[in-house]
A and B are shown apart, each in its own frame.
Chain A
Amino acid sequence: MNAKFKKIIPQLLTLTFVALVFGFFSYNAQLNMENRGISFGYGFLSQESSFDVQFSLIEYDGSHSYFRAYLVGLLNTILVSVIGIIFATIIGVVVGIARLSTNLLINRSAAYYVEFFRNIPLLLQIFFWYFAALRALPLPEDAEPIFGVIFLTIKGLFIPAFVWNNLDIFLYSLLAAIISIIVIRSYSKRLRENEGKHIPVLYISLGLIVGLPLISFLIGGVTLNFEIPELVQLAKTSFRFNGGLGLPPELIALTLALALYTATFIAECVRAGIQGVSKGQKEAAASIGLTPNQVLKLVIMPQALRIIIPPTTNQYLNLTKNSSLAAAIAYPDLVLVFAGTALMQTGRAIEIVSITMLTYLSLSVSISVLMNWYNKKIAIKEK
C-alpha cells in the first residue's frame, strides 16, 4: 500500500499543479475578455478580411474571408520552405562532400563556408540580403537581361512563365512514365535475384521519362510556350514588368538566407554520415569484386543515409520553423499575414496565436512522422 502511494502522490501533485496553472490562466483570460467585451470563438474566420496581401499563390483580395487570408499565409510559408529545403539540400550535400575532398583548397573553402554562415544569426543574414545586397540591384529600366529572358532587379526576379495547353495530358504521361519505371525496376530486381540476368534499368528509365512526355507533345496536343517578361512604361519614371513570373525580393532574400544557413548544418550531417561508414566496409565491398560505382551505391550510401537522415530531418523542420522570420522583412507568410495583420484587425490574440502555433506544430509533426516512417524503412533489420 505504501509503495503504491509513493507512486501516486507525485503524479497527483504534478497533475494538480498543471491543472491549477491552466485553471488560473483560463479564468483570467475569461475575465479579461469579458472586460474588453470580446467573446471567444472562431466565427471571425468567415468574416471579410478587408486587407490586401502583396504576394499570393491563390486568388485573394480584401473581400475574401480571414480563413482565405490564413490559407494565403500558409501557402506562402510552404512555398518558401519547399524552395529553401531544395536549395539547402543541394548546397549542403555539395559542401558536405567537398569537406571530405582530398584537395586541400576545396576542403578548407568548404570548412570556412560552414564556419562563417552558421555562426551568424539567421535574422541578420535575412536583413543583409534584403536590405543591403538586394537593394544594390539595378532598377527595372536599367536591368540587363540574363540569357535574354531573366531579369534580376530591385523589384524582384522576373523569369519566363510556362503557358501550357492540355497540361493534364502531360502530367498523366509523366505519371505513366514513373509507374512503368517502378514496375520495370521491381521486375529487373526479381530477374536479377532469380536468374542472375541484368537489364539496363537506367537507360530504360531515362528513355521512358523522356520519351513518354515527348509522345504527349507530338500526338497528345500538348504545347508549351514561354511568356517572357516585358518592360512596360507606366509613367515617366515608373517601369514594371508585364507577363512572366515575378518573384518578390522578399522571397529571394528569405530563400537565400534560409538555404545558405541551413546548408551549413546539412553539410555537417552529410560529412558525419559519410565518415561514419567504416573504411572496412568499402574495402570489403571492393574485395568481393564490386565496381567503385556499385560500392558507392550498394554499400556506402545505404549506410551513410541511415546516419544522415534523422539529423537532416531536424534541419528541414528547423528551416520550416525559421521561415517564420519572414515577418521581419514583410514577406507575407503565415506569421505576418495571420498573426500580424489579422490579429491587429480583429484583436483576437488567443484564437489567432493558437491557430498559428497549431499550424506550425502540425507541419513539424507531419514532417517528422513522414521522416520517421522513411527512417524505419531503411533502418538495419537485425535478426
Chain B
Amino acid sequence: MKILNITKDNFNNYLYTGVFLILISILDVFLNSFFSINITAFLPGFLSFVLPLIIGFVGFYFIRVEHSGIKNLDIVNKNINTNNFNAVLTLLIIFVIIKSLPPFLSWFIIDANIAGDTKDACTGTGACWTYIKIWLRRFVYGMYPNAEQWRINLSFISLTALGLVGFFATEKYKKYLTLYYVVIYPFISFLFIYFFISGGRIFFDFSYGIIAAAISIIIGFFIPNKFKLYYFLIIPITFYILLKYIFFFEEYIELGMIEGLVWVETGAWGGLSLTFIISFFCLIFCFPIGMALALGRRSDFPLIRYICIGFIEFWRGVPLITVLFMSSVMFPMFLPQDVYVDKLVRCIIAISLFEAAYVAEVIRGGLQALPRGQYDAAKSLGMGYWKMHIFVILPQALKLVIPGIANTFLALVKDTPLIFVVGLLEIVGMLNLAKTNPEWLGFAMEGYVFAAIIFWIICYAMSKYSYNLEIKYKTER
C-alpha cells in the first residue's frame, strides 16, 4: 500500500517535513527530560505521552526513500530506518537515552560531591565521591598498615616492569622468553609477594637469597666458562648458608641494630591488591595443572584417563563457593593437627584446582580439534610422547584455544570476590565492610559503582588483549 506519492518534484517537501517532524518529536522529549517542560500538556495524559512517538514515526515514514541519491539520507535509511518496525524501535531507543541521561548525569557528575573529608561534605542529591576518596586506601590495600603500603606498591611496580621485559627483548634473547615467563617470572613474583609483602623474619631468608644470588652473579663474570656450571651450582647456596647461619643477621635484628620489615599477616591483606595477588597466582598455577589434566584425559592408559575424568568432572560439577567452604572448614580436618596452612594459601589452592578443571576442558577442545595427521606425522619422525606434545601438538592446540582460555581467566578474575567465604576481604568485601561503618552509612551505591567500573576496565582490557593475541597467532590452515 502506498499512501504517499513521492515524485521527484515533491521529494524535497517530504524530506523537509519528515526531518522537521523527527526533530520536533526529539525536541519534545528533550525538553521534557532536561527542563521538565511538557509542551504537549494540553492534550489528555496518554496521548501527550505517546505523541512524540507518533510524530517521529510519521517523520521517519516520510524520509524513507530508496536510493534518494543523498548520501547521508541513504545511510540513515539503511541503518536505522529500514521499515516501520525498525523506525519505532529506533525512536524508542533514542527516547530512552534522552530520558535516562539527565538523572544519570546529575547523580554521577552534576550533583555529586568530591570535596571535603567527612560525610557532612556530601550535601547534594548526587553521588558522594568523598566516600570513595576517603576510603580509597582501604579499597586498594585492605587492612594493610598505612606505613607499609609502599611495599605493595614497590612489588607491583617491579613485577609489572619485569613482566614487560618481553616487549623489549632483542632477537638474541627472544628464544628464552618462554622459559622466562613460564618458570623464572612466576618464581620471582612468588618471592616478592610471599616474602616482601609478608615481611617479618621470613623476609630475611628472602634477602639472603637475593644478596647471595647478586654476589655470586657478580663474581660469576670473572670465572672461566669451563667452571661456570659448577660455580653456579655450589657458590650461591654456600653464600646463602654463610649469610644465614654464620653472620647471624637475625640476632642483630633482635638486638635492634637493624630494623626489619614488619610482619603483616595475610588476614590483613585485602582490597584491590589482594584481587590482583589471588588472580595472578591462580592464573599461574591453574594453567599447568589444567594442561596436565587435559593430556591425562586423552591418555592411552585407562586408569590415568578415568582418574583425570573423575577429577575434572568433580570440580566442574560443584560451585566455587562450596569449594571454598571445603577449603575453609573441611580441609583443616584432613591435615595433621600441628600443620596449619594459611587461609590465603588454601584459597589459592582451591581456586587453582577449580579453574584448572575448566582450563583442562578448554585445552582438550584444542587437542581434539587438531587433525590426526599432526599426531601421525610427529610419530613418523620418531618423536616420543613428550617430544611430540611439547613441540608439535601443544603449540598448535594452545593457539586454537586462546579465546577459551581467556574466557576462563576472565571467569577466574570475576570469581575472586567469592573469597569472602573464608574471611578474606578483597575489594568487594572491603566495600561491604565500609558500607557498615556507622560514620559512612548509606553510600552502598557509590561503592558498588566504583568497584564495577574497576572490574569492568580490568575484564574488558583482558578480553581485548586476548582478541589481539588471537589475531596475532592466527595461522592459516
Q: Report A-chain residues with C-beta under 8 Å of the C-beta of B359.
A: none
Give the shortest distance, in Å, between A344 (CB) and chain B (any CB): 10
Q: Which residues of A contact B431 (CB under 8 A)?
A: 127
Residues of chain B with a CB closer than 8 A to A128's CB: 445, 448-449, 452
| Distance of A321 Cα from B319 Cα, bound (Å) | 5
Contact B94–A321 (Cβ < 8 Å) = no
Q: CB-CB < 8 A to B93: which residues of A?
A: 105-106, 109
Main secondary structure of the interface of B (DSSP, over half): helix
Contact A115 B460 (CB under 8 A): yes
Q: Are A102 and B428 in contact (CB under 8 A)?
A: no
Interface residues of A in 53-107 (CB under 8 A from B): 101-106
Complex contact B301–A364 (CB within 8 A): no
Is A341 part of the binding interface, using a Cβ–Cβ cutoff of 8 Å?
A: no
For B131-171 the 0/1 string (1 means CB < 8 A from A) is 00000000000000000000000000000000000000000
**Is the beta-carbon distance between B455 and A124 smaller than 8 angstroms?**
yes
Q: Tell me the nearest residue of chain A to B415, going by C-beta.
A: A121
Min Cβ gap A251→B in Å is 18
Whether B330 pairs with A349 at a CB distance below 8 angstroms is yes
The smallest C-beta distance from A347 to any residue of chain B, in angstroms, reads 9
- A109-151 vs B, CB cutoff 8 Å, 1 = contact: the mask equals 1000001100111111101100111010000000000000000
Q: Flag whether A32 is at the interface (Cβ < 8 A).
A: yes
B455 and A14 contact, CB distance less than 8 A: no
- Asked if residues B322 and A353 are in contact (CB atoms below 8 Å), the reply is yes
- In the bound complex, do residue B417 and residue A350 qualify as a contact, i.e. CB atoms below 8 Å apart? no
Bound-complex Cα distance A29 to B329 (A): 12
Interface members, chain B 294-325 (any A CB < 8 Å): 300-304, 307, 313-314, 316-322, 325
Q: How far is the CB of B297 from chain A (nearest CB, A)?
A: 13
Residues of A within 8 A of B334 (CB): 24-26, 28-29
Q: A131-B448, A328-B420, A335-B325 are in contact. Are A120 and B314 (CB under 8 A)?
A: no
Q: Report the stretch among B79-87, B185-193, B227-235, B366-374 that lies at the interface.
A: B79-87
Partner-binding segment picked from A232-240, A275-283, A354-362? A354-362
Q: Are B330 and A353 in contact (CB under 8 A)?
A: yes
- In the complex the two chains form, is B317's CB within 8 Å of A127's CB? no
Contact A127 B319 (CB under 8 A): no
Contacts of A14 in B (CB 8 A): 301, 303-304, 307
* Bound form: Cα–Cα A22–B459 in Å: 38
Q: Is A31 located at the chain interface by the 8 A CB criterion? A: yes
Interface string of A341-377 (1 = CB under 8 A from B): 0010000011001101100110011000000000000
Residues of B within 8 A of A180 (CB): none
Contact, CB under 8 Å: B459 / A353: no
Q: How far is the CB of A98 from chain B (nearest CB, A)?
A: 9
How far does the alpha carbon of A128 sit from the alpha carbon of B447 in the complex, in Å? 9
How far apart are the CA atoms of A365 and B414 in the complex, in Å?
24
- Check B335–A121 contact: CB distance below 8 A: no
A214 partner residues in chain B, CB cutoff 8 A: none
Most buried by B among A123, A124, A361: A124
Interface string of B398-435 (1 = CB under 8 A from A): 00000000000010011111101100000010011001
Q: Which residues of A contact B444 (CB under 8 A)?
A: 127, 131-132, 135
Query: A10-B304, A103-B86, A328-B420 are contacts. A350–B333 as well, Cβ < 8 Å?
Result: yes
User: In whole angstroms, how far apart are the Cα atoms of A89 and B96 in the complex?
Assistant: 24
Within 8 A of A (CB), among B323-372: 325-326, 329-330, 332-337
A157 at interface (Cβ–Cβ under 8 A)?
Answer: no
Contacts A14-B303, A105-B93, A119-B456 given; does A35 touch B337 at CB 8 Å: yes
Instruction: Name the B residues within 8 Å of A35 (CB-CB).
Output: 337
Q: Is the CB of B333 within 8 A of A32?
A: yes
Q: How far is the CA of A356 from the CA of B417 in the complex (A)?
A: 21
Quick check: is B58 within 8 A (CB to CB) of the other chain?
A: no
Q: Which residue of B lies closest to A106 (CB)?
A: B89
- What chain A residues lie within 8 Å of B321 (beta carbons)? 324-325, 327, 335
C-alpha gap A7/B303 in the complex (Å): 10
A233 to chain B, nearest CB (A): 27
Closest to B421 in A: A327
The digit string for B10-54, where 1 denotes a CB below 8 A from any CB of A, is 000000000000000000000000000000000000000000000
A residues in contact with B336, CB < 8 Å: 28, 31
Residues of B within 8 A of A105 (CB): 79-80, 89-90, 93-94
Please, how many angstroms separate the alpha-carbon atoms of A25 and B333 in the complex? Answer: 8
A15 within 8 A of B: yes
Of B316, B334, B415, which is in contact with the most chain A CB atoms at under 10 Å from its CB? B334
Minimum distance in angstroms from A318 CB to a CB of chain B: 9
Q: Is A123 within 8 A of B86, CB to CB?
A: no
- Measured between beta carbons, the chain B residues less than 8 angstroms from A343 are 329
Query: Can you spell out 13 A-B residue pairs with CB atoms less than 8 angstroms apart?
Result: A11-B302, A31-B336, A32-B337, A104-B80, A120-B414, A131-B448, A133-B445, A324-B319, A324-B321, A328-B420, A350-B333, A354-B330, A357-B322
Extra inter-chain contacts (4) besides given A18-B307, A131-B448, CB under 8 Å: A31-B336, A104-B79, A124-B455, A350-B330
7 nearest interchain CB pairs?
A119-B459, A321-B319, A104-B79, A361-B317, A11-B303, A25-B334, A324-B319
